[in-house]
Structures are given as C-alpha cells and as structure tokens.
Chains A and B, each alone.
Chain A
Amino acid sequence: MIAVSHKDQSGAVFRPALKMVAIIAALFGFALFGQGLWIHAKAQLAQILLERAFSETIATGEPVKPWSWADTWPVARIDLPRLGETAIALHGASGQALAFGPGHVESSAEPGEDGTAVYAAHRDTHFAFLRNIRVNDDIKVTGKDGKTFHYKVVGTEVVRWDHSGIDVKASGKNLVLATCWPFDSATSGPMRYLVNASLVE
C-alpha cells in the first residue's frame, strides 16, 4: 500500500518532467536539422543571386555585390560541360564566402594569367561534383571581364591542407579546384582533394 502510493507520487512528478525533456529535445532536434537544411538551401539560393550579380559585373566591368550586405562579390563562373555543372565563384575564401559559392583564394592567380588560380568550395555543396571529374575533362572559367578560358584536367590528388604543393606563381597557366576529402566523411579533416588543370591555348 505504501509502496504503491510512493510510486504514484514519483510518477506524477517524473512523467511531466520527462515529457518536457522530450519536447525540448525534439525542438533542438528540429532546429539542428533545420540548420543542416539551411546550409544547403543557402548554398543553392545564393547561386541564383550570384548569377545575376555576375552578369552585371561582366556588363559593367565593376564588382557588384550580390546582396547589399554581402562582404564579397562574384569574380568568376566555373563550368563543367560534361557534368552539366556550373558555379559562380566569389572573391576570397573566407568561411562566409564559401557558404554561398566557391571562393577564389585571394593570393592565387586570376584565370588565364600566369601562375595558378585556386578555387575552393565545400565538398557537400558546390564542389560535390568534383568526385565525378575525370582526366581530360573540360573546365571553363569566365572571368570578371567576360573572357572565357578553357582548361583541361591533367590529374587529381589528395594532399594535406598545409602541404598542398600548390605554387601560385608556378610556370604556365594552371587551375586548381580544391575541396575537402574524403567526400563522404561526416566530420571535417585535414585532407584536401585537388583537381589540377592547365590552360588549353
């Protein structure tokens, strides 16, 4: 008798509390899931605005911010005709820029110039297609002035981020597309996947 009433009392306190915990946890779960979705949505949506701003850049020859409070602006379009993929690259490769598109690493060369132009993007959004790239694939890069340069993929490699072997002043006109590796990992790691290409004159 005493034992039963004890169980009743504790249940009356314990169950609503547990329910609250479950509801709060569910909210967190939703929020977290939403954040994940948001990262992808942002990456997709931004490209539409970037496309528009980049067209205007080509027309006017001046940098155009894709939205007024942006701290970066589109500088190039990268096309992979065989895969039907295209992406607008942004000035700089800060975390903020990479959320919206591939970043043109600041100290690297401009497309079509001597040296190495380096573009980096996330492996799960803009550069997810890099896993399907093959040697001899065509990569087209259109710069701010509207000029398009054709590059041919010469190879791929996996390197550590701090031993990239990329020399931005290397001889020839080179292009590197970089993303994180391995593609399917859930956590970020030190390895990077590089697609090396050189200009087709």
Chain B
Amino acid sequence: MNYLTLNRKHRSMPRWVGRSCRAIGLINILVLPLIALAAALFSALPARAEASAAQQSQLMTLDEVKSGSLLLKSSEPGRYVEATRVATDVDIVVSGPTARARITQIFTNPSNGWVEAVYAYPLPEDSAVHGLKMVVGKRVIVGNIKERQEAKAIYETAKAQGQKASLVEQERPNLFTNSVANIGPHEQVVVQIDFQEPIRLSSDIFSLRVPLVVAPRYNPAPLTQSADISANGIGWGSASDPVPDRDKITAPVLDPRLNAPVNPVSIKVRLQAGFALGEVKSRHHTVKTESLNDQTQVITLADNAHADRDFELTWTPKDSKAPAVGLFREHVGKDDFALAYITPPVIEQEKDIRPREIVFVIDNSGSMGGSSMDQAKASLDYALSRLKSADRFNVIRFDDTMDLLFNDTVSANSENTSKARAFVNNLQASGGTEMLEPLRAALNDPRPAEQSFIRQIVFLTDGAIGNEQQLLDAIAAKRGRSRVFMVGIGSAPNNYLMNRAAELGRGSFTSIGSGEEVNDRMRDLFAKLENPVVTNLVAKFSSGNADMTPATLPDLYRGEPLVIAAKLGAPSGTLTVKGMIGRQPWEMTVPLANAATGEGLSKLWARRKISDAEVESTLGTITTDEANKHILNLALEHGLVTRLTSLVAVDKTPSRDADKPLTRSDVPLNLPAGWDFDKVFGEQTLRKADMESSGVEQIAYSQKPVLVENAPAQLPLPQTATDAELRMLGGLLILLASAGLLLFNRKSGRNAS
C-alpha cells in the first residue's frame, strides 16, 4: 500500500531517532531509578534524590485535574497537593427542560497547619454556575457575583487579614475552581455549589449528565502517597522513602472500588418530566427508582454503585415519541424568558439522494491506547461498511505525524473500502496528539463549489490536546461547504472541544463511552449523515423585540430538536419556525400564551448568550472587547460565573457568639438526606473543648494562619539543583568499593589455595 506521508514541518529528524530517544528516556525513567534504589542499600547517598523525585509526582497542576478535588497549595509554584475528600451528595431536580443541581461536599483539612484550599471541579460546559454557600468550621459564607479582578482583590484582602473567604472562578469553560482561605487545622469545610443545566434531547431520548466530582483517580499509587504528604500541610518533608512497601500498596489499590468507603457519593434525581415517563435508564451506574406518579420518579444511586465516571440519566416518553413541541416560560423581574424545543417531522420519502464525500479522521495517539483505540477502530470500521458505491471517501490517521490513505477522496468501491478497512485495522496507538494539521488536511476541499456531493468530515478522537482555540479557528476559517461531525471516544472525552467544533462545523457531536455503545451510536450518527438535513432555519417571535439565542440557527439532523432560548418583550403572540426539510419547505407556529412555567430559564438564556458571544468573537464577527463587554453585562445581571466574573464571599461579621456551639439553625444549608448533622459538625465541638475559650480571636491567633502576610506576594522558587554530581559520585564510590571487593576476593582466594 502506498500511503502519502506528511511529516510535520518542524519534525526534521527521522522517526527512529525520536523512538530511540524515547526508549532511552524510558530506560532512564523506569529501570535506572530501580537500580539506583537497590544501590541505596549499599550507599545511603542517593536516597534523598529519590525521595524528592517521588515527592514531585505527588504534586499536580490544574491541567491534570480530571475529577473534582480539593487541592492544597503546595510550596512549589503552580502545584497542589490533593487533600482528603470526605463525602459528596448530588441533588438534582429536573423540571421539564432544565435541571437544577446542588452539589454538597464535606472536606477535612487533615493537616496541623492553616491552609488555603483550592477545590477544582469539572462541570458540563453549558451549565450555569450561580450559587455558592460554604460552612468553614464555624463560618457560614454566601457568595456574591463580582468582576473577576475585583473578586480576586476582595478575596486576597480577606486572606491577608486572616478572614475566611471563598472565591469561585472559571478556569476553563468546563473547569471551575473554588478557593477557600484560612481553613484551620483539622477543620471541616462544607461546600455547596448550585448550577443549572439544560436537558438534552436527541432522537426522542432526553438526557442529563452529571460529572462526578469525587470520582477517585485511576492512578492509585500517587493517591496513597499524597495522603502521606498532606499530613503536614506544607507539601514537603514527609515523603520518607515510599518504595519499601510499593508492592504492598500497589496490588490492593489497583481496584479503585476498594477506595469507595472513603469517598462516598450519593446522587438523587427528582425527575419531573412534564409528560408520562417511559423507560428511565442510568447508562453507567446501578440505580434505585421510585415512581411517585406516571410523570415523576425519584432516582437514587444504588449503595454498591461506584462513581468512577460521569453519571448519565436518560428517559423517554411513554408513547415512545417525544412531543414535537415543548414551550416553557419564566418571569424574572420585568422580563419574560422562554425556552422552546421544536422537533421537525421526519420525512422519509424526500431523502436527499445526493452521494456523499466523507473524510474520516482517526486519532491513533498514545492517549487513545487500550479500549479507546478499539472503540475508534470499531466505529470507523462500521462507518466504512456503511458507505455506498456512489460515495467518495478518504481516511486520515494521526498522532504526532499523519498519513492520508489516498491523495484525494476516492470512490467507495469494494477494493478501496477493503483497503481502508485493512489500514484502520492495523492502526496502533502511540505518539503525541497533533490535531491541527490533520484537521486542516480534512478541511482542505479541492472542489469547494461542487454541489453534487455533500461533503462531511467525521473526526474520531478523545480530544486530549491543549491548543483548542487553534483548532476552532481552523474550523471557523476553512469549513466552506464541509460539515464537521465529532465522535468523542473514551470515558472522558473533551466535551467542550467536541461540542464547540461540531457547532462551528455545523455538524453534531456523538460520544462513545464504551465498546458496547459503538454500534448503536454510530448507527445514530449514520442516520443523521444519511437523512435529510433541515436547513435554512429561521425563527421569529410575532411580538417583535425578542432577544433570541442562538442568533443563527444550526442545521438539524434527524431526530434533533431546535432549541431556542429567548428574552421576550411580551409573553404573548406566537413563535414561527421556517425551514427546508430536504427540498421541501416547512413551517410551524406555536402560541406563546400556553407555555408552561419553567425554572432557571433566564440563567440558561444568559449562559447561551455568553456562549454566542464567544463564538462570534472566534468567528471574528465582533471584536474581543465587544464580546467581553457583552459577557460581563450578562454575567453580572444574571449572577453567573464566567471567565470574566467570579463568586466571592468573605466572612466579616461572625453571626454567632463565641461561646455558643453551632446549631442546626445557624446553617442556611439543607444538608443532604442521610447526612448526620452531629457527625458533620461534631468535630468543631470537640476542638472547642481543647481550646478552652473559643471564638474568632482564638481562631485567628491561636496558631498563625500561614497566609497572613502583608508584604506583596512572594514568588516561591522551584528546586534548581540536579543530583547529577551526587549520582556520579555515588556511582564512582560504588565502583571503587566493588573493585576493592574483587581485589580482596582474589587475594583471599590465592591465600586459601
């Protein structure tokens, strides 16, 4: 087979050089330290170097956060130590089109010092974070929305004055952090975060996804060690040689389930669908379901269920077909907000019979290794088997290099497809992820004006990359007549990238989380690819001045509803939607007066307007400044956390006398069902007894909070000595010793004979 190989520009070294460098590096990393450790039995010298290397691995950066974690700031800049997590409760109320979620968690500062905690948590990228309450030891803190810098300044001031404060910031569109200043030794923190997310609807199936904020990591050894290091709170010192019991600690914790009792998770979803419920299913977890009436069910996570991946709940209407129209309304202040779901009819006889030109792009980088690669290969194999002989196709594979199977798209005859299936079958996962070049190659359209083919790009990846913006810019700039369909592979694909890429590429996003889903999901995707697209959609409110999002309506694929959120001038009149199904005009009119009351619609509307502004600035239709101004206004008005706004809370006036124990009425939080108040807050009562006279002063002065310093923040400096000399010296000493030993041996042998 003759593949056209495109090496990346700057890769001027042959591949084998990279490979052998990597091999040497691997030997250096894996084998030599083991030898050095064994050598430590002979010489105590290298022990310290090893310990500090092990210590490095327990620290993490924000980029490495995959699930919600309480991170304690370590002495190394930009790095954190993971703290002990205690318990999590997720309480969700689904009412019609929206889900209101409240996550409550209790954390403990396990150290003997005062700490600033950074709690990082992934959320769905379309969720609107709007509420924060926190009980830190004896403090109850409620968050307010502020501009990001202002919030940060308020927080820093409070921190420097030894006050308890908290700050919720958006770090990435789907990653938020919550910083808590001045948590005392062994104090407990109760965090409660409120967010809204829209319910998804696709092919008559409604779904809700909750990222499981306390999923234990798959990497058990560092977790065990980090418990070790967090015990002294400052991140240094307690990494006594971790290796002697490596065998002991590795085997039992290989199964993450064994950690379950330490980090219990409970989930409760109250599902008020608004219509008679058919099948309600949890895709990845065992659940218990209680039916209150035919429209309402309460779903709880079963006791033995383990939360190691996102929780996803799907439900269908009893009479199998979702209602074609859903209309909801909310009145906030003097404004009315509406959310509409409109599913165009499926017209079988009017298929768009044009053949398709499809470019498949498959990621075979190292991060795809294992089941992800198998799923991707199976998905692509399925796709290739569905091609018709009139279609044209090509396959591009990439890691940090890329190959195009054919120079240009070729006819999908049996010879070409079997060649492609063999090519895909032989793919191995290895190397880095360089997604930009293959994306550009796929978008590169030699016949941009060709109308007899529908051009589609199917991109299969886990999206483990850092240059998201470059990719999105490439799609925005070069999409032309092509439609981009993202297929997310693996249990934690980068949903932000996938959704946004599909949105900009006017395609769709399909997530494949396990091998069993490949066929079903790919069949759905192909149904979309093969069926008529609803195009040229226009929506209009008769009352005139409605502010609608999305401003430009996307193309719709089979089974997908059009979802419109709007701020209305008046809650009367009609909503009219027009479009083309295949080549047939279609129109639908909905009266607004009959809309059902929904909750949180204003926040979802604002979240989507913010998202629109980001897209427009990516597309270059508005400047970054305009986008920022727009986002700021929306965020402040609706109390949302965005990249420009943060929630901040400072505990200035203690609400309680020093000598009174905290009672239930002092806590404006609803503790989740099953949580024992005395167990949660009992700790403080005990601590108070130790400290004789309790109170604010006591908390502030009994031990110096580590972060009370009025001087400007000092930059901690990294460790900048290698142990090269130490190793060379130790190596030489051992060599000398062994030579001496040999000499002695020979001599004593001669003496004996």
Contact = CB atoms under 8 A, between A and B. Distances in A.
Interface of A: 7-8, 11, 15, 18-19, 21-40, 43, 52-53, 56, 62-65, 67-69, 92-95, 98-99, 103, 105-108, 116, 118, 120-125, 127, 161-170, 178-180, 185-189, 192
Contact of A19 (B11, B35, B713, B742): B742
B719 A164 contact: no
Contacts of B713: 167-169
A39 B42 contact: no
A33 B10 contact: no
Binding site secondary structure of chain B: helix
B432 interface: yes
A98 B718 contact: yes
A32 B700 CA distance: 50
B720 interface: yes
A125 B722 contact: yes
Contact size range, B: 35 or more
Contacts of A123: 720-721
A144 to B, nearest CB: 14
A28 B39 contact: yes
A25 B731 CA distance: 9
B686 interface: no
B46, B78, B731 pick with most chain A CB within 10 angstroms: B731
Interface stretch (B300-308, B309-317, B418-426, B732-740): B732-740
Nearest to B31: A31
B725 A36 contact: yes
Interface string B61-78: 100000000000001011
Interface in B41-61: 42, 46, 48, 52-53, 56, 61
B9 A56 contact: yes
Given A7-B752, A15-B748, A68-B18, 5 more contacts: A31-B32, A31-B731, A35-B28, A178-B720, A179-B720
Interface string B22-48: 100000100010011011001000101
A120 B720 contact: yes
A53 B745 contact: no
B534 to A, nearest CB: 38
Contact of B748 (A11, A56, A103, A122): A11
B715 interface: yes
Contact of A124 (B36, B52, B724): B724
Given A29-B731, A32-B730, A34-B731, A21 B721 contact: no
A29 B717 contact: no
A193 to B, nearest CB: 9
B219 interface: no
Contacts of A15: 745, 748-749, 752
B716 interface: yes
Contacts of B21: 67
Contact of A95 (B46, B719, B752): B719
A25 B752 contact: no
A149 B323 CA distance: 65
Contacts of B434: 68
Interface string B696-727: 00000000000000001111111111111111
A40 to B, nearest CB: 6
B431 A69 contact: yes
10 contacts: A8-B752, A21-B738, A29-B731, A32-B35, A108-B715, A125-B724, A165-B714, A168-B715, A187-B726, A188-B719
A165 B717 CA distance: 10
B741 interface: yes
Given A27-B35, A28-B39, A67-B18, A188 B721 contact: yes
B728 interface: yes
Pick from A56, A69, A108 the residue with the most CB of B within 10 Å.
A69
Most buried by B among A39, A56, A99: A39
B462 interface: no
B735 A122 contact: no
Given A36-B724, A178-B717, A29 B732 contact: yes
Given A18-B745, A28-B734, A68-B431, A105 B718 contact: yes
A28 B18 CA distance: 27
Contact of B720 (A27, A127, A169): A127
Most buried by A among B48, B724, B730: B724
Nearest to B719: A188
A29 B727 contact: no
Contacts of A40: 724
A192 B39 contact: no
A25 to B, nearest CB: 4
A26 B712 contact: no
B734 A25 contact: yes
Contact of B718 (A21, A35, A56, A120): A120
A162 B716 contact: yes
Nearest to B48: A187
Most chain B Cβ neighbours within 10 Å, of A25, A69, A105, A108: A25
B509 to A, nearest CB: 26
B525 to A, nearest CB: 30
A180 B719 contact: yes
A105 B735 CA distance: 39
Contact of A93 (B46, B77, B734): B77
A117 to B, nearest CB: 11
Contacts of B77: 93, 105-107
Given A98-B720, A186-B726, A35 B36 contact: yes
B470 interface: yes
A31 to B, nearest CB: 4
B400 interface: yes
A25 B715 contact: no
A89 to B, nearest CB: 13
A166 B713 CA distance: 8
B363 to A, nearest CB: 14
B712 A169 contact: yes
Contacts of B48: 187-188
A69 B432 contact: yes
A18 B729 CA distance: 23
Contact of B10 (A64, A127, A188): A64
A188 B749 CA distance: 43
B32 A34 contact: yes
Contact of B723 (A24, A28, A188): A188
Given A161-B716, A164-B714, A166-B714, A107 B78 contact: yes
Nearest to B737: A25
Contact of A28 (B36, B717, B720, B748): B36
A27 B745 CA distance: 17
A119 B567 CA distance: 50
A8 B748 CA distance: 11
A122 to B, nearest CB: 5
A138 B9 CA distance: 35
A149 B752 CA distance: 74
A98 to B, nearest CB: 7
A77 B727 CA distance: 30
A167 B714 contact: yes
B258 to A, nearest CB: 30
A11 B745 contact: no
Contacts of A179: 720
Contacts of B366: 69
B52 A29 contact: no
10 tightest CB-CB pairs across the interface, nearest first? A33-B731, A36-B728, A68-B400, A29-B734, A32-B731, A29-B735, A36-B727, A28-B39, A25-B738, A22-B741
Nearest to A43: B722
A191 B254 CA distance: 39
A69 B718 contact: no
Contacts of A22: 738-739, 741-742, 745
Contacts of A121: 720
A166 B725 CA distance: 29
Contact of B731 (A19, A35, A64, A170): A35
Nearest to A37: B728
B25 to A, nearest CB: 8
Contacts of A188: 48, 52, 719, 721, 723
A28 B38 contact: yes
